[in-house]
Chains A and B, each alone.
Chain A
Amino acid sequence: MLGIILRRLVNLVIILFVVGTLLFFIIRAIPGDPAVALLGSTAKPEELEALRRDLGLSGPLYLQYLGWFGRVLHGDFGMSIIYDKPVLEVIGDHIAPTLTIAIISTTLSFLIAVLITVWNASNPRNLIARALNQLSQIGLALPDFWLAVLLVYLIALNLRWLPTSGYTDIWVDPVASIRTLILPIAVLVIGQAASYVIVLREGMLGQMSQLYLRTARVKGLSEFGVAMKHALPNALLPILTIVGLNFAGLVGGIVILENIFVIPGLGSMMLGAINSRDFLLLQGGALFVAFLFVVVNLITDLTYALVDPKVRVS
């Protein structure tokens, strides 16, 4: 296990180096001048040039890259133009809403999917179980933004049960925070749980017909117990990768939902950085998301090993 972790950590460094380098040059290739974004259309050419110098954006590109890379190695990702703060501090300010939503929605989606699937597998003829199966197809087909608008209209605007938008830090005011989080999390859970149900159901049905479960049934275990205790661990493997990728995707890309629900998360931060050509924040943010992807993949692989002893052995 330790070997796996060490190998992955070495890979992580290599991946981050390659991704960071690619990102630097791709981002610099985007048309649009940060100096123009900052000073507007009426700035004098000499003012623009002076600002480019101040921002470290003048001179040959390779020298800019080496300078940036050298500072990153020392943990200095530079200053954000729009926030006038160190890039890492800005990322820290915006990670909480995104992580809160990603963790809660992923956990809830996973649990709901497991419960539905296990119940479905142990009660294949039950009408409600079959209806839930069909609903998962619908849940998967609904676009997030459409669902978000619908829920806002029904629950926030008409029933006035919840606010239409906003975000409150859970440590500052937990009740207000939960009220603002319910709708965006509900939107994500509906879509994610539906996809997990579909994938997990296939695995569960396959496992439930396996001969190795006969002994469990003979021992007198209920069908629910058989499904939960014996079939589920074997059916979980394919879904772990999907959960991991979904989680990483949520961290990096719920821009539309953040916009609809006015959540100051990483997606909004990155969008603002693109619109303002805040190169250092964009590079830092993208590198951070890449880092999260790699870490989540590592955790997923480790979870594989925990769930399936064969992986550990191999």
Chain B
Amino acid sequence: MNRISRRWRHLSVTSMAIVAAGALLLSGCTPSGPSDTPTDEGTPVQGGNLTIQISGDPGGLDQNASYSIEAVNISELIFEKLFALDAENTPHPMLVDSYDLSDDRTTYTFHLRDGVTFSDGKPLTSADVVESLNYWLRVNAQGRIVSGDVESIEATDDLTVVLQLNKPRYPLIVELTGVGTGILEADIAKGLDATGFTQEQAIGTGPYKLDSWEPNEQLTVVRNDKYSSLKDEESGYAGAKHAYLDSITFKIVADPDAVKNGLLTGQWLYASPTPDAYPELKANPDLVVNTLSGGNLNLLVLNHAYEGSIFHNADARDALSLLLDKPGIMAATGGSPDLTVESAALTPEASKIMYSTAGDEEYAKHDPDKAKELFAKAGYSDDKPIQILTTNAFPAFQAWATLVQDQLSSIGVKSEIQAYDFVTMLGQWQGYPDKWDIVPIFFNGDFPSPGQMNVLASAASPASETHGEIADDRSQDLIDALADYNDVDNADDAHKIMDTITAIVARDKPAIILGMTRPYAAYSPTLKGYDNYWYVFWNSWIAE
């Protein structure tokens, strides 16, 4: 058995040999790092309230029930997981003190940290971990994908949990850093369904706890005085969490001008403005503007699974890819070259194992004349214009729809844009495959494993009942590659398989990748100790 300790950063040289095996096993499949890292920023100051602008109400703090970027990132302040990703994108033990992996790679024994309590004072026990992971496997779309490989999860004593797989799963530990794996109290997690927990049940072991929440107005978290921090060096989402700030208020402001104006006048110290504001804010000497960890994967989902769609035909998918000036579309809507990545990679570059440029050659092909030929070959007829389904809730989606329509019309292919509000658009996308051929959308590019990536699941069968899960109608090549990925035992092999997966997506085109957008934030220089990891403010303070 190899054994990996949460104190790995402080291990002796002798111990490093043991850690290396685990590190190889664990590294990869992770979010990208930030663009800049603050240097020496002075002595941390305890106290104060930090006001943050967010664009929408989180809708919940349960990552298994609310998938908005706000829900996922705010809840990281309140809930902790067994592991978290550090600045090297490597899983780092958080609630786990150490763990063992059996030689056949199917039995994980997690030894929990002693002395950890929830914000209501209850001690963390193995029962909490068992019920929380069962909830994740039962309800979360990504958790359900993992659940097929999980034989059982059992508490063998108060601080030990044994997770039994029915076959090896290489990315399991990194998957335990993913969305929805936060540890709840057993009593709460036990009866939860897809609607998630209530505000009153938002009790975690993290450095902050929920104080108040007025939906669509603001949400405030305050320091959790019962928090038990690691002593390790702070790093990415992992390590020590100091909770210097007394409280953090998330102010919900959607209007782009109000966001910018409030930042410029100090109503909030941190904001996530729209991409078009980036050049102006970047040029402002009174602000710090940096890209954040992660990235959004922008794509056009094609209705290839539905026989009635022209994109059921591979020639039509090739035609659209050849027609589109993808870098041009990204440049027109991305806001700045700093914020866009022209590539068919499925994950951000910092995601070392999963980042692959194997699809870039296909991505770069641009031949409108050939595209016209292929559309004709695929049986395109003016009697059946291509239906582009989009929503006015995300201006970028509509902009991509318009640009795609424009480029289709340049070769004489008719199309119609159907724009709805987001909920209606989702309903049409899921329930009416005959109503759409193309859906422009972006997904979070950060996923712990390829099997959990929305682009692969949704692109495979967006309109089927298995939406969001591993779908059966994807190509056999892809199914085999995903199985191979789970079966490997080292990062090099995993990376090679990601090359294969990326190349298959570029070849089969269940979706056409437009490129990736880097999120960014603008904030006051008085905000110190912030490493550009979304809402990781537990080591931040406001300079006096």
- Listed in ascending order, the chain A residues whose CB lies under 8 Å from chain B are 30-34, 36-45, 47, 50-51, 54, 82-84, 93, 149, 152, 156-157, 160, 163-166, 259-262, 264, 268-269, 272, 274-277
Interface of B toward A, CB cutoff 8 Å: 57, 59, 65-67, 141, 193-195, 198-199, 214-217, 251, 253-255, 257-258, 261-262, 264-265, 267, 393, 420-424, 426-430, 458, 465, 467-469
B420-A165 in contact (CB<8A): no
Choose from A36, A47, A152, A269 the contact partner of B261 (Cβ within 8 Å). A152
B66: chain A residues within 8 A (beta carbon): 40
Assess whether B427 is in contact with A36, with CB atoms less than 8 Å apart.
yes
| B65 proximity list for chain A (CB < 8 A) | 39
What residues of chain A lie closer than 8 Å to B428, measured between beta carbons? Answer: 31
**Which residue in chain B gives the minimum CB-CB distance to A54?**
B195
Given contacts A260-B255, A272-B216, contact A31 B420 (CB under 8 A): yes
Cβ contacts A to B, 24 pairs, < 8 Å: A30-B424, A32-B421, A32-B426, A34-B423, A37-B426, A38-B195, A40-B67, A41-B430, A41-B458, A41-B467, A44-B194, A45-B465, A82-B216, A93-B214, A163-B265, A164-B264, A164-B265, A165-B261, A259-B258, A260-B258, A261-B258, A262-B262, A264-B216, A275-B393
- Chain B neighbourhood of A165, CB < 8 A: 253, 255, 258, 261-262, 267
Q: How far is the CB of B249 from chain A (nearest CB, A)?
A: 12
Q: Are A43 and B257 in contact (CB under 8 A)?
A: no
- Quick check: A31 and B255 within 8 Å, CB to CB? no
CB atoms of B215 and A83 under 8 A apart = yes
Q: Which residues of A contact B199 (CB under 8 A)?
A: 84
Question: CA separation between A165 and B263, bound complex, in Å?
Answer: 11
Contact across chains for B468 and A262 when beta carbons are under 8 A apart: no
- Output the nearest chain A residue to B468 by Cβ-Cβ distance: A42
- Complex: A44 Cα to B198 Cα, angstroms: 21
How many angstroms between the C-alpha atoms of A259 and B216 in the bound complex?
11
- The closest CB in chain B to the CB of A274 belongs to B421
Which residues of B lie under 8 Å from residue A274 when comparing CB positions? 421
Q: Identify which of A30, A39, A164 contacts B262 (C-beta below 8 A).
A: A164
Q: Could you say which of A40, A42, A260 has the most chain B C-beta atoms within 10 Å of its C-beta?
A: A42
Task: Give complex CA distance A84, B216 in Å.
Answer: 12
Query: Closest residue to A37 on the B side, CB-wise?
Result: B423
| A152-B195 contact, Cβ under 8 Å, with A32-B421, A37-B423, A164-B265 | no
Query: Given A82-B57, A163-B265, A164-B261, are A262 and B255 also a contact pair (CB < 8 Å)?
Result: yes
Q: Is the CB of B429 within 8 A of A41?
A: yes
- A contact residues around B424 at 8 Å (CB): 30-32
Cβ–Cβ < 8 Å partners of A259 in chain B: 254-255, 258
One of A164, A268, A277 near B216 (C-beta < 8 A): A268
Closest to B195 in A: A51
CB neighbours of A44 from chain B (8 A): 194, 465
**A259 CB to nearest B CB, Å:** 5
Closest Cβ of chain B: how far from A91's Cβ, in Å?
14
A259 CA to B57 CA, complexed, in Å:
14
Contact B195 A39 (CB under 8 A): yes
Q: How far is the CB of B35 from chain A (nearest CB, A)?
A: 28
Partner of A41, one of B251, B393, B468: B468
| A277–B428 CA distance with the chains assembled, in angstroms | 15
A36 and B430 contact, CB distance less than 8 A = yes
When C-beta atoms are compared, the residue in chain B nearest to A51 turns out to be B195
Cα distance A43–B193 when bound, in Å? 11
Q: How far is the CA of A165 from the CA of B424 in the complex (A)?
A: 31
Docked CA distance A50–B194 (Å)? 10
- Distance of B444 from chain A, by nearest CB (Å): 12
* Contact A36–B426 (Cβ < 8 Å): yes
**Contacts A36-B430, A40-B67, A164-B265: A149 and B257 contacting too (C-beta < 8 A)?**
yes
B192: min CB distance to chain A, Å: 12
Complex CA–CA separation, A284 to B468 (angstroms):
34
- In Å, the complex CA distance between A93 and B214 comes to 10
Task: Pick the most buried of A39, A83, A268: most chain B CB atoms within 10 A of its CB.
Answer: A39
Partner of B215, one of A39, A54, A82, A163: A82
Q: Given A41-B430, A157-B261, A272-B216, 18 other A-B contacts at CB below 8 A?
A: A31-B424, A37-B426, A41-B458, A41-B467, A42-B141, A43-B468, A51-B195, A82-B59, A157-B264, A164-B267, A166-B267, A259-B255, A260-B258, A262-B255, A264-B216, A275-B421, A275-B423, A276-B423
Contacts of A84 in B (CB 8 A): 198-199
Alpha-carbon distance A30/B262, docked complex (angstroms): 35
Q: How far is the CA of A23 from the CA of B468 in the complex (A)?
A: 35
Chain B residues near A93 (CB-CB < 8 A): 214
- Tell me the minimal C-beta distance from A151 to chain B in angstroms: 11
Interface centre among A40, A41, A82, A156 (most CB of B within 10 A): A41
Q: Once bound together, how far apart are the Cα atoms of A259 and B67, in whole Å?
A: 24
Contacting residues, chain A, for B254 (C-beta < 8 A):
259
Q: Which residues of B contact A152 (CB under 8 A)?
A: 257, 261
Q: How far, in Å, is B500 (CB) from chain A's closest CB?
A: 26
Known A-B contacts A50-B193, A152-B257, A260-B257; the reply to A269 vs B141 at CB < 8 A is no
Question: Chain B contacts of A47 at CB under 8 A?
Answer: 193-194
Task: List the B residue with the shortest CB-CB distance to A167.
Answer: B217
Instruction: Tell me the complex Cα distance, A277–B59, Å.
Output: 13
Complex interface: chain B residues within 8 A of A42 (CB): 67, 141, 467-469
A93 to B216, CA, bound (A): 12
In the complex formed, the residue of A with least CB distance to B420 is A31
A264 touching B214 in the complex, CB below 8 Å, given contacts A36-B430, A37-B423, A42-B67: yes
How distant is B502 from chain A, measured CB to nearest CB, in Å? 23
Q: A245 → chain B, closest Cβ, in Å?
A: 27
Would A33 and B465 be within 8 Å (CB), given that A40-B67, A275-B393 are in contact?
A: no
User: How far does the Cβ of A124 sit from chain B's closest Cβ, in whole Å?
Assistant: 42
